[in-house]
Each structure stands twice: as C-alpha cells, then as structure tokens.
Amino acid sequence: MNTMSTNKNIKLRQLGQTDIYISPIGLGCWQFSEGKGGAAGTWAPISIEETNGIVQAVLNGGINWFDTAELYGWGRSERAIARALKKSGKIDQEVIIATKWNPIGRTAWSITRTIGKRQECLNPYTIDLYQIHAPFGFTTRRSEMNAMADLVESEKIRSVGISNYSARQMRQAHEVLRSRGLRLVSNQVRFNLLDRSIESNGILDIAKELGVTIIAYSPLGLGLLTGKFHKNPELLSNRRWLRRYQLRRKIESSRELVNTLEEIAQAHGVTATQVALNWLINFHGDTVVAIPGATKVRHAEQNVGAMTFTLSNTELSQIDNLSKQFM
C-alpha cells in the first residue's frame, strides 16, 4: 500500500473504501494519446521529453496517481505513462494507476479477454483501479460488474470503478459488486464550478452514501475557469466549433465567478485555476478528487500548487454561492 507522497505536506485520501491512498489531485492522461483514438482532433501529440517532464513534475509535487484509458490512443497513453514512470525511477508500489475498459460495441466478455493488453501496455505497473469508461456496453450491468469482480479475484486488478454513470446506475453496479464481497470504489464524472449537475441529480448523494470517491474530469470547465477566455475571447478561435460554442455561451454568466476566483487567488498568492481546483477537492470533504491534464510542465506544476494552500470557509461559501447557477 502506498501511503506516502513526495510532498509531505499533502495528505493522501482513501480511494473509496479500499487500502489505496491517493493525492487529492491526480494527473489526467488523455493528452498522452499521440493524437490517436479518442484524442483525435482534441490533443496534438506531445513529445516524449515533454511527457517525461510533466510526469516528473507532478511526482515532485506529491501527486501519486495517474488516470488513463484504453480509448486514449488505443494504449498509447498507457505506454507513455509507463515509460515516463520508469524514466523517473518509480517502482510499482510507489504509484497508483487507474485505467479504463472501452465498452463501446463490446460485451462483458471483452473485459476479461482484453485485460492482458492493458497489463502489457502498463508493464511493469499494475492496475490499481479499473473503470468501465461509460454505461454503453452491449451486455447487462450485472455481467460487466461480475467480469470486473473476476479480475479482482484473479488479482489482475485491485479495485473496480465506473465512469459517466448515473445515480441509479451507480447503485446497480454497487449492488452487484456487494454480492461478490466487493465494493464500488469510484465514479469518474464531469464536475467543475461551471457544471455542478452531480450535486442535483443524485450522483454526489449516492457517492457519499456508499463511500464512493468522485473523480472529477474536466475540472477547469474546458479552460474557462482559468479566465483566459474572458480576457481574450479571440482565443476561442483555436478551439473546435462545438467547444467554441460551449465556452462562448458561458463567458458572461461566469464572469463574476471568475473575477472572484482571481480576487481570492491574489489574496493567497496563487492563480484562479488553482483556486478553482482547490474548491473542487475540498468543498465536499474527501469525497471528490480531480484529474486535470497537462500538456506542458508549467501546467503540471500549477496543478500541484492547487494542493498547497487552504481556502477559508468564507471563501469556499462565496465561490459556492456564485456558482450555484450551474448546478
């Protein structure tokens, strides 16, 4: 069990009800897909040197876990993480690896059939958390959860998570795993100050009830919470048309929130980005962790910095009140 982080000031959190402990912020690794698979048109390829530097930067800052997926470049992201971790000198017991099975067009049989490929891509690092990427498989929830339980029992993975599941689907998955003597560990969902729907649709309530960790992806609202698009809307021209539309429609409604994030950031000597991440991983206690990505070392260092200061209850509430419109 990994219970220590490089930065002794960062308190690790229990992942679900397991003996796995993770930093409040992990590294999302979709960007390491080399522009292939689910990253096509979203992420430009990142050099091996930059990838290695990003991974080393987060390790230096106390981040101890990495979230990837089969769909992220069809194994390219997994291999990039393994390569970078080996370069850093980290051994298996010092890091936590989370990856995901792609359910699209597949049945539960594929879960056990393809686990060898996931292990090969991540070698020599083991899979601590294996997640079903979305509730879109061609077989029942029971079949998929039973297949995941089989992997735990055969010691090919340590724990089971899900992604993009509704509150009802979470409970179904939990019940099947409980029948096998296991627990559902996590649900990875979109959650940020501009999309707080999990607080109103039951997902967060069920997570707290069942002791499930919420892993927040897109924690910076596609970059809108950085404030850069508010200052210079022309930057949106670099985004795909759908992302451009999604961001533009929220610029004015989020302006007061972003201005407040910047004011609070100045008081702490940090950035608005770091304040947004800090709120996300602390407002609901230990239930929520986040996986911001990084395409440059400076992004990785900024993500790490979000864990190094404490927002007051007044500041947490102020941010909460300004962002409630996005629940």
Q: Inform me whether the pLDDT recorded for 158 exceeds 70.
A: yes
pLDDT in tens, 222-239: 788 987 777 766 666 665
Q: Which two tokens stand for residue 20?
A: 């796995």
pLDDT of 4 reads: 36
Is residue 217 annotated as a catalytic residue, yes or no? no
Which of 250 and 80 is assigned the larger pLDDT? 80
Confidence of residue 253 (pLDDT cuts 50, 70, 90): confident
69-102 per-position pLDDT tens digit: 999 999 999 999 999 999 999 999 999 999 999 9
| Better-predicted residue by pLDDT, 7 or 315 | 315
DSSP 101-165: E--TT--THHHHHSHHHHHHHHTTS-BSEEEE--S--SS-HHHHHHHHHHHHHTTSBS-EEEES-
Q: Is 19 exposed, middle or buried, given 0-12, 13-18 or 19+ CB atoms closer than 10 A?
A: exposed
Extended strands (E) in 193-283? 213-217
pLDDT per residue as tens digits for the range 99-157: 999 999 999 999 999 999 999 999 999 999 999 999 998 999 999 999 999 999 999 99
Q: How confident is the model at residue 3 (pLDDT cuts 50, 70, 90)?
A: very low
Residue 207 — very low, low, confident or very high, per pLDDT cuts 50/70/90? Answer: very high
Is the separation of the CB atoms in 81 and 122 below 8 Å? Answer: yes
Give kind and range of the element (H or E) at residue 64: none
Question: Can you give the pLDDT at residue 6?
Answer: 45
Of all residues in the chain, the percent with pLDDT exceeding 90 is: 82
pLDDT at position 9 over 90:
no
Q: What pTM was estimated for this model as a whole? A: 0.94
Both tokens of 315, joined, read 């500041």
Question: Tokens 């698009």 — which residue?
Answer: 229
How much is the CA Rg of the chain, to the nearest whole Å?
Answer: 19
- All residues at 6 or more sequence positions from 266 whose CB lies less than 8 Å from its CB, including other chains: none
pLDDT at 292 over 50: yes
Binning pLDDT at 50, 70 and 90, where does residue 34 land? confident
CATH of region 13-221+270-311: 3.20.20.100
Give the separation between CA 212 and CA 175, rounded to whole angstroms: 13
pLDDT averaged over every residue in the chain: 92
Task: Decide the pairing of beta strands 13-14 and 21-22.
Answer: antiparallel
